[in-house]
Amino acid sequence: TSPVVVAIDGPSGSGKSSVSKAVAARLGLAYLDTGAMYRAATVWSMETADLDDAASVATAVRAMPLVMGLDPAAPGVELDGRDVAVTIRTTEVTTAVSKVASNLDVRAELKRLQREIIDQESSAADAVFSGGRGIVAEGRDITTVVAPDADVRVLLTASEEARLRRRSLEVHGAADATAVDATRDQVLRRDRDDAKVTQFHVAADGVATVDSSDLDFEQTVDAVLAVVAQAE
């Protein structure tokens, strides 16, 4: 069978990370979390550059010693040999990431790295994880900019209410009114900032939409697998 590249985009709280991991695991593909790369770039910039100086951030990110683990069962992020999987999810990093992600030189560099990883995993000779079977890559601009020629392209959406509920459960371990309110500002502000540089609310031409608002996790995974099956 020929290698398959599956591109999945969506806003925060759409469930795209957990769904993408499950899809990759089911299909025996590598998994690339591009959001984790922007988060790692943010950590690295906080440590080695001035966040308010776009040129210094771009220079830092070009020299960033980043290694992405591609196993969907245990995706890793290493910066200079350090495991930063926990650091990249802190509130401090989540709050700063959109600023780093809006730096066009940073985007160009990460796009280059992402394409390199996608090409590598879809080549039997160079694959690190999947043996060349392919990869599921998820983020905000994978279906449109990073891999517009992917075999399968999916936009995973969900209503604002469903997204806030999921994010609230993730961050606060609860989805009562108080917890949802605490999540709302952060989620909506980040989506608004991200939407200035990436387009992930409307499916581009040829991109399948999966709306997970009324689906549970397994149903969402099945819906994405059905899109993949259709393409084969």
Where on the chain is the footprint of ligand C5P (CB under 6 A)? Answer: 12, 34-35, 38-39, 97-98, 101, 139-142, 190, 194, 198
**Ligand-binding site membership of 16 (annotated):** yes
User: How far is 137 from 122, CA to CA, in rounded Å?
Assistant: 12
**Ligand-binding site membership of 196 (annotated):** no
CB atoms within 10 A of CB 125: 6
**Ligand-binding site membership of 15 (annotated):** yes
Task: Rank residues 217 and 226 by Cβ distance to ligand C5P and give the closer one.
Answer: 217
Give the shortest CB-94-to-ligand C5P separation in angstroms: 7
Asked if 4 contacts 225 with a C-beta cutoff of 8 angstroms, the reply is no
Give the shortest CB-36-to-ligand C5P separation in angstroms: 6
Task: Rank residues 14 and 130 by Cβ distance to ligand C5P and give the closer one.
Answer: 14
Asked if 7 contacts 143 with a C-beta cutoff of 8 angstroms, the reply is yes
Task: Rank residues 3 and 11 by Cβ distance to ligand C5P and give the closer one.
Answer: 11
Paired tokens of 145: 């900019």
Task: Rank residues 21 and 190 by Cβ distance to ligand C5P and give the closer one.
Answer: 190
Give the shortest CB-15-to-ligand C5P separation in angstroms: 11
**Ligand-binding site membership of 102 (annotated):** no
Residue 55: Cβ-neighbour burial (10 angstroms; 0-12, 13-18, 19+): exposed
Give the shortest CB-172-to-ligand C5P separation in angstroms: 16
CB atoms within 10 A of CB 104: 11
* Residue 94 parent element (H or E): helix 91-101
* Residue 22 parent element (H or E): helix 16-27
CA angle in degrees (0–180, nearest 5) for 208-141-66: 130
Give the shortest CB-1-to-ligand C5P separation in angstroms: 27
Give the shortest CB-166-to-ligand C5P separation in angstroms: 12
User: How far is 59 from 154, CA to CA, in rounded Å?
Assistant: 33
Task: Rank residues 132 and 184 by Cβ distance to ligand C5P and give the closer one.
Answer: 184
Task: Rank residues 132 and 165 by Cβ distance to ligand C5P and give the closer one.
Answer: 165
Asked if 40 contacts 89 with a C-beta cutoff of 8 angstroms, the reply is no
Place of tokens 């990370």: 17
**Ligand-binding site membership of 14 (annotated):** yes
**Ligand-binding site membership of 12 (annotated):** yes
Q: Which residues are annotated as a binding site?
A: 10-18
Q: Which residues are annotated as a binding site for ATP?
A: 10-18
